[in-house]
């Protein structure tokens, strides 16, 4: 018997087992707020995490001159990239990049909850709202729950649709592995209050990104933010997706550690 050949085969099998066990498991971020590449169900994603007390979240639509950004290059002209942890697009919009659903920026409401019935992803009920204060209290609720439960206007809020998960369960109108494959991004909030954002780096189904959200946030709600033009700006990683046009932009910034700030 060729013992050397047997040893080589045994080592190959061991490596294969180890690789199989790690399929779909995200690398542990080196620090909170990192955007981390991950493979889930054989598809490439990037996951980013915003943590209360370490990050703040805001919405941005227009620049100082009142012109809609429509993308990250114009947004970057007005922000210090050193303060930006990451940013994604989030919320449905019309051809002029104006929100078609609930939108609050800096506690100013530009649009009320959209309860209309029509065709398209946004109108696939239930849809939902991602909202909260700058430094925490971030939540994802169905639009109906939001209208019933939230009486105080949040600092930011954006309506999108459909919901991917409601209480950890797949949206009833979504297939577990639908034929529609597109770039997609989404958000959920875990039990500790951290907001998890995911963006696919290749076309995926609604069901696939929904399952990734369940891995991140368990039995929580998860909201589809956008598709096809889904984009990420991650200054520390040198990434700025340039897809056009975008609508509302969700910006996650680092909390200043300087004294008095």
In the chain, the percentage of residues whose pLDDT exceeds 90 is 85
Residue 261 CA to residue 242 CA, distance in Å, equals 33
DSSP 6: H
Query: For 91-141, what is each residue's pLDDT tens digit?
Result: 999 999 999 999 999 999 999 999 999 999 999 999 999 999 999 999 999
Cβ atoms within 10 Å of 96's Cβ, excluding its own: 9
d(CA 210, CA 222): 7
Gap between the Cα atoms of 16 and 148, Å rounded: 52
The pLDDT, as a whole number, for residue 256 is 78
pLDDT of amino acid 28: 38
Three-class DSSP category at 252:
strand
The burial class, CB within 10 Å (0-12 / 13-18 / 19+), for 77 is: exposed
Written as six digits, the tokens of 41 are 């169900």
Output the pLDDT for position 229. Answer: 97
Q: How does pLDDT run across 226-255, given as a tens digit for each residue?
A: 999 999 999 999 999 999 999 999 999 999
Residue pair 54/83 in contact (Cβ under 8 Å)? The answer is no
pLDDT score for 26: 37
Spell out the domain ranges in the chain. Answer: 26-254
- Average pLDDT value for the chain: 89
């Amino acid at each position: 018997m060729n013992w050397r050949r047997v040893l080589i085969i045994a080592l190959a099998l061991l490596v294969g087992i180890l690789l199989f066990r790690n399929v779909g498991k995200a690398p542990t971020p080196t620090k909170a707020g990192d955007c981390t590449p991950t493979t889930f169900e054989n598809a490439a994603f990037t996951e980013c995490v915003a943590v209360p007390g370490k990050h703040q979240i805001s919405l941005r639509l227009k620049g100082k001159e009142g012109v809609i950004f429509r993308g990250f290059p114009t947004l970057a002209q007005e922000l210090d990239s050193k303060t930006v942890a990451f940013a994604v697009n989030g919320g449905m919009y019309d051809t002029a990049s104006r929100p078609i659903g609930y939108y609050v920026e800096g506690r100013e409401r530009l649009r009320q909850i959209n309860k209309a019935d029509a065709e398209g992803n946004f109108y696939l009920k239930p849809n939902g709202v991602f909202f909260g204060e700058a430094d925490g209290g971030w939540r994802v609720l169905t639009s109906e729950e939001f209208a019933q439960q939230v009486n105080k206007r949040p600092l930011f809020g954006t309506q999108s649709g459909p919901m991917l998960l409601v209480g950890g369960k797949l949206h009833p109108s979504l297939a577990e592995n639908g034929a529609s494959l597109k770039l997609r991004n989404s958000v959920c909030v875990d039990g500790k209050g951290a907001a998890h954002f995911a963006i696919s780096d290749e076309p995926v189904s609604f069901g696939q990104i929904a399952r990734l959200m369940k891995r991140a946030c368990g039995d929580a709600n998860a909201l589809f933010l956008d598709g096809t033009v889904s984009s990420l700006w991650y200054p520390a990683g040198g990434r700025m997706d340039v897809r056009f046009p975008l609508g509302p932009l969700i910006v996650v910034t680092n909390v200043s550690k300087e004294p008095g700030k």
